[in-house]
């Protein structure tokens, strides 16, 4: 069993507090708030140790670098939502259920992974604010002078 270090404790804390899968760069940014001298090589080395001891699990999305989440979060079946503008990934609770009808005839599905792609609530609010700023202000119609 590996000894616990300040860096490893900080990495676990950041991943657990995020409650969503994080990239090594997101983990580094979070850990630097408490362990300012840590580097990316230390992050990767500790991620490997935390995977090996079962504390964290890798989340793989098609065409993306690995992200990491706590194993206790990964032990229940869930899916992911990938926000395209900010590149963050969030857990999606629930499942559409059996995918057997999607498989070709005679095939058996052992497991499935589902990733939704779109815009998270933060990015959607930011977009709405930008649209509101960019929207032209309606011109007031000048009133015709009253004639008596």
Annotated binding site for Fe cation: 77, 112
Q: Which residues carry a binding-site annotation?
A: 77, 83, 86, 112, 120, 123
The answer to whether the CB of 86 falls within 8 A of the CB of 123 is: yes
* Contacts made by residues 28-32, CB under 8 angstroms, sequence distance 24+: 31/7
* Residue positions forming the annotated binding site for Zn(2+): 83, 86, 120, 123
What is the Cα–Cα distance from 24 to 41, expressed in whole angstroms? 10
Q: What would the two tokens of residue 12 be?
A: 């676990």
Residues 85-141 have pLDDT tens digits of 999 999 888 788 788 888 899 998 888 888 899 999 999 999 999 888 887 766 666
Least confident residue range of 14-23, 28-37, 102-111? 102-111
**Threshold 0.75, pTM exceeds:** no
Nearest to 72 by CA among 57, 61, 92: 57
Paired with 20 in beta bridges are none
Fold held by 1-75: Arc Repressor Mutant, subunit A (1.10.10)
């Amino acid at each position: 069993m590996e000894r616990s270090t300040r860096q490893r404790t900080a990495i676990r804390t950041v991943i657990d507090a995020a409650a969503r899968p994080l990239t090594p760069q997101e983990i580094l940014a979070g850990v630097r708030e408490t362990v300012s001298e840590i580097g990316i090589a230390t992050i990767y080395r500790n991620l490997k140790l935390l995977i090996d001891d079962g504390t964290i699990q890798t989340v793989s999305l098609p065409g993306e670098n690995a992200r990491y989440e706590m194993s206790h979060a990964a032990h229940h079946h869930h899916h992911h939502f990938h926000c395209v503008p900010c590149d963050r990934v969030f857990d999606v609770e629930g499942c559409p259920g059996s995918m057997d009808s999607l498989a070709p005839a005679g095939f058996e599905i052992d497991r499935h992974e589902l990733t939704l792609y779109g815009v998270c609530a933060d990015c959607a609010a930011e977009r709405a604010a930008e649209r509101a700023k960019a929207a032209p202000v309606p011109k007031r119609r000048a009133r015709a002078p009253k004639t008596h």
